[in-house]
């Protein structure tokens, strides 16, 4: 008669061995998928950035990126030229949204006046915070940041804009503060 404790231990070892093999195979498959998709993801992000820079600059030329390493939120600055004259800058800034960090590109004249902005990478809630990606959402910030302060609270908006951000206050505040940070950064560059 066999000892039930030995059978139980052997069964545990068999199950553990099978699980180890399954986990190893799964890890290898995930690593292969990552190796194939990582370069595609990088190319897509580069393409999205180039398209967003072009949209913000409109007919103007975007210069070479100037990385920013010593600022808590600003990651990069792109000079914008009109007829070979400096028109302003596009600033890549990281703000805090409801879903975590979100990247915002902000076009700003050298006095800090915002001429365009767009929300890039974000994890905002579909139907609420994702409204910040919609065409026209950033219009409420255009012309602010120079002589006019960037609206960072809903009570600083007109009624229609306040209604547009209803239900997504944290996203609005995150975007607004990111735009304000970019505007202040550009103003201090000169």
The residue extents of the domains of the chain are 1-57, 61-189
Measured over the CA atoms of residue 48, residue 184, residue 149 and residue 173, the dihedral's sign is positive
- Binning pLDDT at 50, 70 and 90, where does residue 58 land? very high
Q: Which two tokens stand for residue 124?
A: 């905002």
Does pTM surpass 0.85? no
Q: Region 6-23: what's the mean pLDDT?
A: 89
Q: What Rg do the C-alpha atoms of the chain give, in angstroms? A: 24
* 164/183 Cα distance (integer angstroms): 23
Residues recorded for the chain: 190
Query: How does pLDDT run across 156-188, given as a tens digit for each residue?
Result: 777 766 656 655 677 888 899 999 999 999 999
* 118/51 Cα distance (integer angstroms): 11
Q: Are 129 and 122 in contact (CB under 8 A)?
A: yes
Write down the pLDDT at residue 183. Answer: 96
């Amino acid at each position: 008669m066999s000892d039930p404790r030995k059978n139980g231990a052997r069964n545990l070892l068999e199950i553990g061995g099978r699980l180890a093999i399954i986990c190893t195979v799964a890890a290898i498959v995930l690593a292969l998928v990552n190796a194939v998709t990582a370069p595609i993801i990088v190319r897509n992000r580069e393409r999205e950035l180039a398209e967003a820079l072009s949209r913000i600059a409109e007919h103007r030329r975007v210069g070479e990126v100037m990385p920013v390493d010593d600022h808590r939120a600003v990651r990069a600055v792109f000079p914008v030229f009109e007829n070979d004259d400096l028109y302003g800058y596009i600033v890549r800034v990281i703000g805090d949204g409801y879903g975590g960090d979100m990247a915002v590109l902000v076009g700003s004249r050298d006095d800090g006046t915002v001429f365009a902005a767009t929300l890039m990478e974000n994890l905002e809630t579909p139907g609420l915070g994702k409204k910040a990606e919609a065409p026209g959402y950033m219009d409420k910030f255009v012309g602010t940041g120079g002589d006019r302060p960037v609206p960072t609270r809903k009570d600083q908006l007109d009624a229609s804009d306040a209604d547009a951000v209803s239900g997504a206050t944290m996203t609005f505040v995150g975007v607004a503060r990111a735009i304000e940070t970019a505007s202040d950064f550009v103003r201090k560059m000169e």
